[in-house]
Structure 1
Amino acid sequence: MTSATVTSSDRSPANMERRESGTRAAIPSREDLIEAVRAYHPEADAARLGDAYDFAKEKHGEQLRKSGDPYYSHPVQVAMLLAFIQLDQCTIMAGLLHDTVEDCDVALEEIERRFGVDVGELVDGVTKLGQLQYKSEKSKQAENFQKFILATVQDIRVLLVKLADRLHNMRTLHFIPKEESRLRIARETMDIYAPLARRVGLYQVASELEDLAFHHINPAARDSIIDKLEELTSENANDLERIRFAIKQIVAENGIEARVKGRRKQPYSIWRKLERKSISFRDVADIFAFRVIVGSVQECYQLLGAFHTVWACLPDRFRDFISVPKPNGYASLHTTVRASGNRLVELQIRTEAMDRTAEHGVAAHWTYKNSEYGFDLESSKAAGLDPGANLRAFGELLADGAEPDEFLEHAKLEMYRENVFVFTPKGRLIILPGGAMPLDFAYAVHTAVGDTCDGVKINGVVRTLRTQLKNGDVVEILRRPESRPVVGWEALTVTGRARSAIRRLIRDREQIEFVKLGRTLIDRDLRRAGIDPIEIDMPRIARRADFESSEELAEAIGRGRYETADFIRTAFPGHEPAQSDPQQRMLIDDNHASRMIAGADLTPGVTLHLGECCHPIPGDRIIGLREPEKGLVIHTIFCQRVVDFEDRPDLWVDLRWNDVSKQGVVAVGRIGVRAVNKRGVMATQASAVAQAGGNITRVETGERSADFLQLIFDIEVEDLRHLEQIKAALRALAVVESVERIEEVVN
Structure 2
Amino acid sequence: MPTIQDLSHSLTSYLDADQINLVRRAYYYAEQAHDGQRRKSGEPYVTHPLAVASILAEMNMDHQSLMAAMLHDVIEDTQVDTKGLSSQFGETVTGIVDGVSKLTHLHFETKAEAQAENFQKMVMAMAEDIRVILVKLGDRLHNMRTLGVMAPEKQRRIARETLDIYAPVAARLGMHDIHVELQDLAFRAYYPMRYKHIGRAVQQARGNRLDMIEKIGDTLSACLKREGLPGTVTGREKHLYSIYRKMVTQKKSFAEIMDVFAFRIVTDKIDTCYRILGAVHNLYKPVPGRFKDYIAIPKANGYQSLHTDLFGARDITIEIQIRTEEMEQVANQGIASHSGYKAGGEPASAKAQGNYNRARQWVQGLLEMQKQAGNSMEFIESVKIDLFPDEVYVFTPKGRILELPKGATPVDFAYAVHTDVGNNCVSCRINRRLAPLSTPLESGQTVEIITTPSAQPNMAWLNFVVTGKARTNIRHFLKHKQNAESVSLGRRLLNQFLANYDLSVDTLDPEHLGQYLKGSGLQSLDDLLKEIGLGNRMAYIVAQKLKPRSGNEQDENQSEEPLSVSGTEGMVLSYARCCHPIPGDSILGHISSGRGIVVHRDDCRNIAEFRHDPKKCVYLNWDKRVSDEFQASLKIELMAQRGIIATLATKVSAAGANIHRIDIDEKEAQMSTVHLDVSVRNRVHLAQVMKRIRTLSSVSRITRA
TM-score by length of 1: 0.84
How far apart, CA to CA, are the structure 1 residues paired with 2:215 and 2:358? 40
Contact 2:131–2:345 at 8 Å: present in 1 too?
no
Tell me, yes or no, if structure 1 residue 193 matches structure 2 residue 166. Answer: yes
Code of the residue aligned with 2:556 in structure 1: it is: Q
State the partner residue of 1:111. Answer: 85
State the partner residue of 2:469. Answer: 497
Shift of 1:86: 0.5
Q: How many residues align?
A: 694
Once the two structures are superposed, what CA deviation does each residue of 1:173-231 show, in whole Å capped at 9, x if it has no partner? 1111x211111111111111111110101111111111111112112222232233233
State the partner residue of 2:296. Answer: 323
Match of 1:125 among 85, 99, 102: 99
Contact 2:498–2:543 at 8 Å: present in 1 too?
no
In structure 2, relative to structure 1, the CA distance for the partners of 1:686 and 1:288 (3 Å cut) is farther
Contact 2:491–2:505 at 8 Å: present in 1 too?
no
Tell me, yes or no, if structure 1 residue 233 matches structure 2 residue 233. Answer: no
Which shows bigger deviation, 179-188 or 718-727? 718-727
Helix, strand or coil at the partner of 1:421: strand
Shift of 1:98: 0.8
State the partner residue of 2:485. Answer: 513
Contact 2:286–2:309 at 8 Å: present in 1 too?
yes
In structure 2, relative to structure 1, the CA distance for the partners of 1:612 and 1:502 (3 Å cut) is same
State the partner residue of 2:325. Answer: 352
Which shows bigger deviation, 82-91 or 712-721? 712-721
How far apart, CA to CA, are the structure 2 residues paired with 1:185 and 1:704? 61
How far apart, CA to CA, are the structure 2 residues paired with 1:730 and 1:270? 68
How far apart, CA to CA, are the structure 1 residues paired with 2:56 and 2:341? 17
Code of the residue aligned with 2:82 in structure 1: it is: L
Which shows bigger deviation, 473-482 or 299-308? 473-482
Shift of 1:232: 3.1
State the partner residue of 2:533. Answer: 558
State the partner residue of 1:654. Answer: 620
Shift of 1:100: 1.3
Contact 1:199–1:328 at 8 Å: present in 2 too?
yes
State the partner residue of 1:634. Answer: 599
Code of the residue aligned with 1:103 in structure 2: it is: D
Residues 416-495 of structure 1 mapped to structure 2, 5 A cutoff: 416-482=388-454, 484-495=456-467
How far apart, CA to CA, are the structure 2 residues paired with 1:33 and 1:332? 33
How far apart, CA to CA, are the structure 2 residues paired with 1:713 and 1:57? 78
Contact 2:492–2:563 at 8 Å: present in 1 too?
no
Match of 2:187 among 214, 226, 231: 214
Which shows bigger deviation, 151-160 or 283-292? 283-292
Tell me, yes or no, if structure 1 residue 290 matches structure 2 residue 256. Answer: no
Match of 2:574 among 595, 605, 609: 609
Once the two structures are superposed, what CA deviation does each residue of 1:670-714 show, in whole Å capped at 9, x if it has no partner? 5668899x9x99x98599659855887778899999999988776
Shift of 1:48: 1.5
Shift of 1:46: 2.8
Q: Percent identity?
A: 34
State the partner residue of 1:276. Answer: 249
Tell me, yes or no, if structure 1 residue 594 matches structure 2 residue 567. Answer: no
In structure 2, relative to structure 1, the CA distance for the partners of 1:358 and 1:44 (3 Å cut) is farther
Code of the residue aligned with 1:272 in structure 2: it is: R
Code of the residue aligned with 1:594 in structure 2: it is: S
Once the two structures are superposed, what CA deviation does each residue of 1:462-490 show, in whole Å capped at 9, x if it has no partner? 22221112212222222222464433232
Code of the residue aligned with 2:178 in structure 1: it is: V
Once the two structures are superposed, what CA deviation does each residue of 1:497-533 show, in whole Å capped at 9, x if it has no partner? 2222122112222222222212222333343444578
TM-score by length of 2: 0.88
Code of the residue aligned with 1:427 in structure 2: it is: G
Contact 2:302–2:354 at 8 Å: present in 1 too?
no
Shift of 1:70: 1.4
Which shows bigger deviation, 704-713 or 254-263? 704-713
Match of 1:248 among 190, 199, 221: 221
State the partner residue of 1:19. Answer: none
Q: Name the Cα RMSD after superposition.
A: 3.5
State the partner residue of 1:567. Answer: 543
How far apart, CA to CA, are the structure 1 residues paired with 2:432 and 2:387? 31
How far apart, CA to CA, are the structure 2 residues paired with 1:550 and 1:69? 58
Tell me, yes or no, if structure 1 residue 184 matches structure 2 residue 154. Answer: no
Shift of 1:349: 0.6
Match of 2:589 among 606, 617, 624: 624
State the partner residue of 2:128. Answer: 154
How far apart, CA to CA, are the structure 2 residues paired with 1:336 and 1:475? 29
Once the two structures are superposed, what CA deviation does each residue of 1:272-304 show, in whole Å capped at 9, x if it has no partner? 122112222333388431111111111111111
Tell me, yes or no, if structure 1 residue 379 matches structure 2 residue 355. Answer: no
Helix, strand or coil at the partner of 1:264: coil
Tell me, yes or no, if structure 1 residue 69 matches structure 2 residue 43. Answer: yes
> Unaligned stretches of 5+ in structure 2?
none
State the partner residue of 2:556. Answer: 579
Once the two structures are superposed, what CA deviation does each residue of 1:225-263 show, in whole Å capped at 9, x if it has no partner? 223323333333222212111211221222211111210
Helix, strand or coil at the partner of 1:278: coil
How far apart, CA to CA, are the structure 1 residues paired with 2:692 and 2:195? 65
How far apart, CA to CA, are the structure 2 residues paired with 1:684 and 1:167? 70
Tell me, yes or no, if structure 1 residue 335 matches structure 2 residue 308. Answer: yes
How far apart, CA to CA, are the structure 2 residues paired with 1:195 and 1:464? 31
How far apart, CA to CA, are the structure 2 residues paired with 1:719 and 1:65? 74
In structure 2, relative to structure 1, the CA distance for the partners of 1:571 and 1:719 (3 Å cut) is closer
